[in-house]
Chain A
Amino acid sequence: MHDAVRELVRDGDTVAIEGFTHLICFAAGHEIIRQGRRDLTLARMTPDVVYDQMVAGGVASKLIFSWLGNPGVGSLHAIRRRIEEQDPAPLEIEEYSHFGMVCRYVAGASNLPFFPIRSYYESDIPGVNPNIVPMTSPYEDAAEVYVVPPLQPDVAIVHAQRADPSGDAQIWGLLGCQKEAAFAGKRVIVVCEEIVPESTIRQDPNRTAIPSAVVDAVVEEPFGCHPSFVQGYYDRDNAFYLDWDRIARDPETLEGWLDEWVYGLATHREYVEKWGDAHWDELRPEGAWSGQVNYGRYA
């Protein structure tokens, strides 16, 4: 992870660590904080605790998002301080709805100049974001749509359950925008719970979300999404999400947390060891395996 972030994430970049509640790569966020990147534009549908940590860590000057909160808990206090009180510095924001953000990635991944959606009608959102533009269909019905611009992050970081050594990555459970963000990204880091042989990927090709053709680095980082979750591997650490509300409310407590859990550790492996095996055992779900399908052999 250290090398991937050092080589692929640069000051001033637009960075998207995607994952909709699921597969949020906190390990990458922590490494970016540790390496002291600055002036990043952070894009994510739901900034979540990971961007609260990164904003508190001083890496960001701008946020692109569609829902700004601690899901199921409440607010992101470090981000709110930056927006409401410019404390310790202003944070530029650019906001969409979920569908708008999804379609920005789709347009970015598809090399389209814009993407039309039927949303934003009679909403105040386009009034505060000039990138959301009304347009009339050139076809007979002359439908009124809004268009959103493509999003092609300089760096997309997506977590997956498993990938082969080249970076062909398979995902199951909530898919979020992992695939769209990866295809849209100019540089792409795939992080996974486990590296598996290429034959494992080839055995179930329908499950491959991201081909190595678009991947610049692949990193094996078990528990790399904690406190978010990885379907089938570990549950969301809800106690941490709740605790983050307390930690982030007070800037000093937050700084202390970053010192202890980010700056004070050299790698994510140390973070995993610091939590301890008992913690990971508690988060591991019982098995619920899919059935198998027959692809057939056509020799």
Chain B
Amino acid sequence: MSEVAQELGYSKSEIMIAASARQLAGVRNCFVGVGLPNIVCNLAQRTIAPELQLVYESGVFGARPERLPLSIGDPTLVSGATAVTSMYELFAYYLQAGLIDVAFLGGAQIDRFGNLNTTVIGAYDKPKVRLPGSGGACEIAIHARQILVIMRQAQRSFVEKLHFRTSPGHSGDPAHDAARGWNGSGPTSVVTDLGTYVFDEGSGEMTLVTMHPGVGLEDVRANMGWEPKVAGDLGETPAPTAEELRLIREELDPGGVYTK
């Protein structure tokens, strides 16, 4: 796949970024994470979502970073921002009250209903790998109107059963989900290095809707822990445009930190 992508003139990360950015068309208030989501949001702001307000859990609303932030608490997010708030205000007034349209989440493990584990691999009391934990992810998953997930696909990360559910996704019972009364409607899409998925409205299950150029169903199956549901009209993810690639390479990640 990487060789194919090289022939096509872009990397796996670049098509993930471009495909994710297109999902932000028309979005206004977006909760951003560091790394790929940050590049995704900045790309969207410069292409299909000029009204996008970048919101960071560190307390920044409407960031205009002049450099690629090193973390979600980079000082470049503060200078020139619309507002800087206490973390209480950010979580209570902006997130819990329902102002956030879209948020990005990821994790060490995801299941077919978009539940995420960022806490532990192995047993909680006897961890094989201790991961960072929730941060803001648990409440973001509940309150952001939509959740977009960006994750590289592998057997160990797309799992049949999570070792720990840090952030809730769909339950598998749509009637239950509808009765939750949360601000959020849960995960709406997943973009991986192999393809893009949406969550089936009937079952809440992750459903493959496009594969990236050069990827086959066997690649998708080989890199997940369950038999994926596949859309009847399975398509191909549009390749990144020349302008998207220029923005990524020249403006957003010139050092190739996240896009190699």
Contact = CB atoms under 8 A, between A and B. Distances in A.
A51 interface: no
A241 B124 CA distance: 27
Interface of A: 20-22, 45-46, 65-69, 71-72, 79-80, 83-84, 95-99, 102-103, 106, 117-125, 128, 172-177, 179-180, 229, 231, 235-236, 238, 241, 285, 288
B73 A118 contact: no
Given A68-B133, A117-B96, A124-B165, A84 B72 contact: no
Given A84-B129, A102-B88, A122-B171, 14 more contacts: A21-B71, A21-B72, A72-B34, A97-B136, A97-B138, A103-B88, A117-B96, A119-B142, A121-B168, A121-B180, A123-B165, A174-B60, A180-B86, A180-B88
B173 to A, nearest CB: 11
A117 B84 contact: no
Contacts of B71: 21, 71-72, 236
Main secondary structure of the interface of B (DSSP, over half): loop
Interface of B: 34-35, 57-60, 70-75, 77-80, 84-88, 91-92, 95-96, 119, 124, 127-139, 142-143, 164-168, 171, 180, 182
Main secondary structure of the interface of A (DSSP, over half): loop
Contact of B136 (A68, A83, A99): A99
Contact of A22 (B35, B75, B127, B131): B75
Contact of B132 (A68, A125, A128): A68
B88 A121 contact: no
Identify the 4 closest CB pairs spanning chains A and B, nearest first.
A21-B73, A72-B71, A67-B135, A122-B168
Contacts of A102: 87-88, 91
A123 B59 contact: no
B70 A236 contact: yes
Contacts, number: 148
A128 B60 contact: no
A65 B164 CA distance: 17
B134 A98 contact: yes
A20 B73 contact: yes
B138 A125 contact: yes
Contact of A175 (B59, B142, B164, B166): B59
A121 B124 CA distance: 19
B168 A175 contact: no
B171 A67 contact: no
Contacts of A98: 57, 87, 91, 134-136, 139
A67 B139 CA distance: 13
Contact of A125 (B72, B127, B129, B166): B166
